[in-house]
C-alpha cells in the first residue's frame, strides 16, 4: 500500500477535534486538546444493541435460499447513491470485469487534499471531482475529456486548503458541493456555472437533488437546502454537535415527501422535504467497554431507503433497519462500518471496517453468511531501518458493494476489485487495478466505473 493510500486511510478513520476549518487536517489529534464546549451527555443516546450480541450466521438460515432483484439495465447513475432513495437494483454492467479504459481527471490525494467524491453518470457522460475542486466531464464510453472547470475559490484567504464535496445531476444541470464552503450549479453540457452560493461550513459529502431542492450536510452537522433553479437558501436542520468524528459525510436520502439524513453525531433523522419539520430521530449508538473508538458515532455511509425501511451503519457499531414512517428500529446488528449498506431483494449487505461482508435478512436481521474479504491477510511492516521506525501496514479497507449480474462488486485500498456471488459470498473473480480505491463503484449502461485515490477514472466492461 502506498504512502498516499495510508494517508487517506488515516484521515478517514481518525476522528477530528473541532474540525471547523479546512486547513486543520494535518493538525488534528483526537486524543488530546481541550474538551469541546458542546458535548451531548450519555443520557442523550441509548445503546440499541445488547452488549452480548454476537455477529454470526443464524442456524435457522442454513440452506435457506433468498431472492435477488431481477437483472436489468441501469442507464444512469445521476446521484451519489444512484437514485434519491440511494438504492439501485441488479444491473447488467461489467459482466467480464475487465478494464476498458482509464483516464486521469486532475489532482489526486496528497498533503491533506483528498479524492472522496463518488463519480456520477448521466446523459452519456461521467462526472468527477478531484482533490482540488476541479469538476470534469468525460464521455461514458471512451473516457475522453469533454470539459473541465476549476471551482476552487480564488477570493477567499480563509480556505487555502480543503477536501471533499461531491456531485449530483438533475435536469441537465450538475450540482456541486465543496470543502471550500461552496454549493454551485453547472451546466452539464458546457461546464458553464449557473449559480454559486457560499456556505458557513465546509461540505465534505455529495449533495442529493430531489423535488427541485439541493440537499447536503455541512461539517457542523447542519442539513442545508437550496433551490435547485436559483441557489436560494431554503430551510435548515441542526443536528447535535459532535467534537469527535470521521472526516467524511454522507448524502441525504429522499423518498416522496420525506428526507432522511445521517450525521456525525450518530443521529439518523427523518424530516419533511417541504419545510424541514422533523418526523423522527434515531441514534445509532453502541457503547463499548473495550474500544474508545465506539464513541465516534459517525454515520459516514449514506442511509438507504428501500421498501419502507431505512438502512444505515454507524462507526459506533450499529447496523440497523428503521421503519421509514415511524422511526422505530426493526432490528440491529453489531457492525462497525463507514460505508453504505446495500438492500437488495430479500437481503441487505454491509461491509465492516475489518473487511467482513455481511449478508442479512432484510426482514429479520438474521445473518445468512459472513465473508471475510481480508481472509489470509498477513500483517507486514514497512519503512524504518533494521526494524526501528517501521510501521505495520493496516488491513485493506473495502468500499460499499453494488449488485451487478447477481454479483457483488467492490474494491479495496490495495487496488483489488472483487466480484462475489451474491447468494453465497464466494469470490468469483478478482482483478488488480494497481491503485487504491476507497470510493464505491457505480454502474451505468454496460460499464462499471471506479474513482481511484490518485484521480483516475477507470471503466470496467
Evaluate whether residue 237 is within a structural domain. yes
Which among 405, 449, 404, 453 is positioned nearest to 121, based on CA atoms? Answer: 449
- Provide the pLDDT for residue 28: 30
- Provide the pLDDT for residue 17: 35
Q: What is the pLDDT of residues 382-437, one digit of tens each?
A: 666 666 666 677 899 999 999 999 999 999 999 999 999 999 999 999 999 999 99
Q: What's the number of domains the chain is made of?
A: 1
Q: What is the pLDDT of residues 108-140, one digit of tens each?
A: 999 888 999 999 999 999 999 999 999 999 999
Residue 443 pLDDT more than 80?
Answer: yes
380 alpha carbon, distance to own chain's centre: 28
Residue 162 pLDDT more than 70?
Answer: yes
Model confidence band, residue 251 (pLDDT cutoffs 50, 70, 90): very high
pLDDT, average across residues 12-24: 38
Three-class DSSP labels, 100-164:
EEEEECCCCCECCECCCCCCEEECCEEEEECCCCEEEEEECCCCCEEEEEECCCCCCCCCCCCCC
Range of the domain at 363: 3-31+58-460
Q: What is the percent of the chain where pLDDT is above 90?
A: 74
pLDDT, average across residues 225-251: 87
Which residues are CB-contacts of 122 (< 8 A; sequence separation ≥ 6)?
76, 77, 78, 169, 188, 444
Evaluate whether residue 48 is within a structural domain. no
- Provide the pLDDT for residue 34: 36
CATH number at residue 395: 2.130.10.10
- Provide the pLDDT for residue 49: 55
- Provide the pLDDT for residue 286: 66
Evaluate whether residue 49 is within a structural domain. no
Cα(290)–Cα(260) distance, integer angstroms: 31
| 34 or 396, higher pLDDT | 396
Evaluate whether residue 44 is within a structural domain. no
The CA-CA-CA angle for residues 160, 162, 164, to 5°, reads: 160
pLDDT, average across residues 6-32: 38
Evaluate whether residue 409 is within a structural domain. yes
**Concatenated DSSP letters of 352-388:** -TTSEEEEEETTT--EEEEEETTTT----EESSBTTB
Evaluate whether residue 166 is within a structural domain. yes
- Provide the pLDDT for residue 180: 94
Amino acid at each position: 500500500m502506498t504512502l498516499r493510500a495510508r494517508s487517506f486511510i488515516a484521515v478517514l478513520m481518525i476522528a477530528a477535534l473541532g474540525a471547523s476549518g479546512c486547513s486543520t487536517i494535518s493538525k488534528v489529534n483526537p486524543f488530546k486538546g481541550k474538551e469541546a464546549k458542546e458535548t451531548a451527555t450519555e443520557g442523550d443516546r441509548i445503546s440499541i444493541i445488547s452488549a452480548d450480541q454476537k455477529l454470526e450466521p443464524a442456524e435457522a438460515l442454513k440452506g435457506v435460499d433468498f431472492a435477488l432483484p431481477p437483472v436489468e439495465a441501469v442507464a444512469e447513475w445521476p446521484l451519489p447513491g444512484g437514485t434519491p432513495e440511494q438504492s439501485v437494483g441488479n444491473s447488467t454492467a461489467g459482466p467480464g470485469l475487465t478494464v476498458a479504459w482509464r483516464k486521469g481527471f486532475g489532482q489526486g490525494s496528497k498533503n491533506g487534499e483528498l479524492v472522496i467524491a463518488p463519480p456520477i453518470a448521466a446523459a452519456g457522460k461521467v462526472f468527477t471531482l478531484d482533490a482540488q475542486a476541479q469538476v470534469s466531464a468525460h464521455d461514458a464510453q471512451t473516457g475522453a475529456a469533454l470539459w473541465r472547470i476549476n471551482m476552487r475559490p480564488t477570493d477567499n484567504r480563509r480556505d487555502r486548503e480543503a477536501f471533499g464535496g461531491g456531485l449530483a445531476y438533475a435536469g441537465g444541470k450538475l450540482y456541486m458541493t465543496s470543502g471550500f464552503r461552496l454549493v454551485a450549479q453547472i451546466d452539464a453540457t458546457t461546464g458553464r456555472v449557473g449559480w454559486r452560493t457560499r456556505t458557513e461550513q465546509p461540505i465534505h459529502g455529495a449533495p442529493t437533488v430531489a423535488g427541485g431542492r439541493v440537499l447536503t450536510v455541512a461539517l457542523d452537522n447542519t442539513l442545508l437546502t437550496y433551490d435547485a433553479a436559483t441557489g436560494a437558501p431554503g430551510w435548515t436542520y441542526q443536528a447535535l454537535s459532535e467534537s469527535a468524528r470521521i472526516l467524511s459525510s454522507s448524502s441525504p436520502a429522499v423518498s416522496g415527501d420525506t428526507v432522511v439524513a445521517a450525521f456525525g453525531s450518530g443521529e439518523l433523522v427523518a424530516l419533511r422535504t417541504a419545510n424541514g419539520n422533523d418526523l423522527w430521530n434515531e441514534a445509532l449508538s453502541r457503547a463499548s467497554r473495550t474500544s474508545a473508538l465506539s464513541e465516534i458515532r459517525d454515520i459516514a455511509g449514506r442511509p438507504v431507503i428501500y421498501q419502507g425501511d431505512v438502512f444505515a451503519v454507524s462507526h459506533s457499531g450499529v447496523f440497523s433497519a428503521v421503519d421509514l414512517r415511524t422511526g422505530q428500529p426493526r432490528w440491529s446488528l453489531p457492525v462497525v462500518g463507514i460505508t453504505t449498506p446495500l438492500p437488495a431483494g430479500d437481503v441487505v449487505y454491509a461491509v465492516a471496517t475489518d473487511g467482513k461482508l455481511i449478508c442479512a435478512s432484510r426482514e429479520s436481521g438474521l445473518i445468512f453468511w459472513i465473508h471475510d474479504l481480508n481472509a489470509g491477510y498477513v500483517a507486514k511492516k514497512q519503512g524504518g531501518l533494521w526494524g526501528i521506525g517501521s510501521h505495520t501496514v493496516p488491513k485493506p479497507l473495502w468500499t460499499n458493494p453494488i449488485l451487478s449480474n447477481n454479483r457483488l462488486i467492490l474494491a479495496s485500498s490495495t487496488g483489488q476489485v472483487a466480484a462475489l456471488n451474491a447468494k453465497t459470498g464466494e469470490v468469483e473473480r478478482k482483478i488488480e487495478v494497481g491503485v487504491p480505491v476507497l470510493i464505491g463503484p457505480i454502474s451505468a449502461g454496460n460499464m462499471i466505473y471506479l474513482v481511484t485515490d490518485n484521480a483516475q477514472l477507470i471503466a470496467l466492461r
